[in-house]
Amino acid sequence: MSTQLHATITEETVREISETLGEPEWLLETRLDALSVLDDLEYPSVIQTPGRRWTNLEDLDYEAMIDPRSQSEEKDQIGSEQIRVLSFKDAIDEVPDLLEAHFGSLVDPQENRLIALSTALFTTGTVVVIPAGVDAEDVTIRTTMNGRSLFNYTLVVAEENASATILERQESGESVDDERYYSGIVEVAAGENSTVQYGSLQEFDEQTYNYTVKRGEAGRYATVHWIEGNLGSRLTKTQVSTLLESDNAETRIVGAFFGHNDQHFDLDSRVWHRAEHTTADLVTRGVIDDRSRSVYEGTQEVSQEAWDTSSYQRENTLMLSDESEADASPKLLINNHDTEASHSATVGQINREDLFYMVSRGLPEETASNMLVEGFFVPVLEEIDVEELREDLEAGIAARLTD
């Protein structure tokens, strides 16, 4: 299906944004090319089960939510003196060659309709550069969305033998009367023998529709570690993925979500094994309550060249109400027999025997239920090395249980 996404987004609009940021010609052309094919591209793929399409991105009222000329935000970008944490506008002036080399190298600006929309309209972003041999901790990026729409771009480049721990948060600021739209694209390039831990915590208000794509590439002996926390938004469609194109590269994708009311989470985790001796571990746990819904798709793809691959995936969803709904679709696509891999997914409710045991020992049923939910998240929380993110997720889960 191809329908016009937004009647008032024009070439003039895109040129104004590009001129305001002082962009080079190649980036303006990238934006205009994305705009020109916008209405010919498909929406991002979503899981479909017999008789049901779980996430309907086509029917969102983009025309009402998106005003490209009134994007408004507050942003904190903090890092040590050893590295460069730049606004996108400053990066254009200070690291132009690096920006041109990496922008769109992992996330194709014309991959689908919503990515093309983000490429054409983004006004804000962060570029993090970690020089060779530098260990950088406590890099924090906080984006507070104030208008009805915001398009954000993040690029992380770790040079050889570097390491970085980055925590990016997204949240709502000034309240608005109607629904709004956030779109974020993240690209992480980890050089040889480098390590990047990228944690994200999304806490938008429940009037916000959130579309996010995060993609990393790990070089030889490098590691890209994603931590994905989703608590907010009305609807979130997100894809987190890693390309293992070099020998001995590794990745971990750790996810946690907790939905309530009428929230909807569509979560997609992927890894491509395309070199020898690569390793991946995908772990996601989530809880849904009230009328909330979740759908999870995890894909491990092992190419013919990927000898001695190790790849593991686990996804578990806990439903707290009869009205909540969840589905999961883990996939293994193996084209090399020298592979050790597994995948599993479960959807269920609180174990009644566990609950009965705790109540019979004198705990009120609600207290016992909350303790079981908090315990359910422990295997995921233990995978999170970033202490601040782990503590904030624990606090967010505890707060959700007392709503």
Q: Render pLDDT for 275-334 as a digit per residue (tens, 0 to 9).
A: 999 999 999 999 999 999 999 999 999 999 999 999 999 999 999 999 999 999 999 999
The mean predicted confidence, pLDDT, of the chain is 93
375 Cβ neighbours under 8 A, 6+ residues apart:
none
* Cα–Cα–Cα angle for 380, 382, 141, rounded to 5 degrees: 80
For 340-392, the pLDDT digits (tens) are 999 999 999 998 999 999 999 999 999 999 999 999 999 999 988 888 889 99
5 falls in which pLDDT band (50, 70, 90)? low
Query: Residue 353 and residue 373: Cα distance in Å, rounded?
Result: 14
Percent of the chain whose pLDDT exceeds 70 = 98
Mean pLDDT score, 240-256: 97
Burial class, 62, CB count within 10 angstroms (exposed 0-12 / middle 13-18 / buried 19+): buried
| Number of H-type helices and E-type strands within the chain | 9, 20
pLDDT recorded at residue 7: 67
Which pTM value belongs to this model? 0.94
For 175-222, the pLDDT digits (tens) are 888 899 999 999 999 999 999 999 999 999 999 999 999 999 999 999
Mean pLDDT score, 69-98: 88
For 262-283, the pLDDT digits (tens) are 999 999 999 999 999 999 999 9
